[in-house]
Homo-oligomer: A and B are copies of this chain.
């Protein structure tokens, strides 16, 4: 009989979430650990094991588990490794797949977190049935997963899909954590939005409830709350951020002509406040043949679920 469950793990810089997933995409049990609590990778693997063990036993033990899929920052599908991840405690190249296999005695597959989210959307989310789409994950950074002809794009080396590091401003671009200037990530990540907020607040005299907040700690949630309450400065922050995303999307469309671009993460929860300026930015910058034709869709999956589900989906084919 086919084994009925997989393990999906969503590794992030602050937290790691994990769950047991069935063939229908139901998460049967889940848990989490704090990634930075384990400066030694072996301790991290042990903690994962201890967190998962009761969940595994609950569904009938290891014999019921087909495999493990894990989405991780800088995860490499080909090599089952994480490599030089700036936001993780472990430096250099970590053979994550081998470590999981050795500890759990289960087939294991590694991909990056945005690719896991793409698989989640394709299998259970808003991209169900789509063969060509792009997911853009807006969080601490800006990640992406690209699906072409129904397959994730990994590229020659397994690192394809770094759309957060395409250059959106070549003149006076903001300095990015990667060392480049003007990366999309410096405008559309959480810190990018906060920086845009600060710039807009400092260069205008307009009244805004945002002025009462600590200007360096403004979150997209703060901006959302203000915009919903009618704050025009907050609306302008979304307009600016959305237009920049739309400009970037126009170039992505010229590359792979996707059916849709799925926007994932906190910012996507602002709904039309961000989707409308994204669509405007896209239509103003895309070739006429695509104008009005590319769907821009907010993710419908809970962020943590999408990544667990997507990573889990990898587990079905893990080796």
Contact = CB atoms under 8 A, between A and B. Distances in A.
Interface stretch (A29-37, A162-170, A199-207, A296-304): A162-170
A256 B155 contact: yes
Considering residues A159, A168, A170, A254, which has the most beta carbons from chain B within 10 angstroms of its beta carbon?
A254
Interface stretch (A10-18, A40-48, A264-272, A285-293): A285-293
A154 interface: yes
A49 interface: no
Interface residues of A, number: 45
Contacts of A285: 167, 180
A159 to B, nearest CB: 5
B251 A167 contact: yes
A153 interface: yes
Interface in A35-76: none
Contacts of A178: 287-288
Considering residues A154, A156, A167, which has the most beta carbons from chain B within 10 angstroms of its beta carbon?
A156
B288 A257 contact: no
A159 B255 contact: no
**Main secondary structure on A side of the interface with B:** loop
A289 B151 CA distance: 23
A148 B168 CA distance: 24
Contacts of A132: 155-156
A221 to B, nearest CB: 29
Interface in A118-158: 131-132, 146, 148-149, 151, 153-158
A166 B285 CA distance: 9
B179 A288 contact: yes
A166 B258 contact: no
Contacts of A84: 289
Contacts of A288: 178-179
A215 interface: no
A162 B285 CA distance: 13
Nearest to A295: B156
Interface of A: 83-84, 131-132, 146, 148-149, 151, 153-163, 165-171, 178-180, 247, 250-252, 254-259, 285, 287-290, 293
25 contacts: A83-B289, A131-B156, A132-B156, A148-B153, A148-B155, A149-B151, A153-B255, A155-B256, A155-B257, A155-B258, A156-B257, A156-B258, A156-B259, A157-B293, A158-B257, A159-B257, A160-B257, A161-B255, A162-B254, A166-B251, A166-B255, A167-B247, A168-B170, A170-B170, A252-B255
Question: Which are the 8 A-B pairs with shortest beta-carbon distances?
Answer: A155-B257, A160-B257, A156-B259, A166-B251, A132-B156, A162-B254, A166-B254, A160-B256
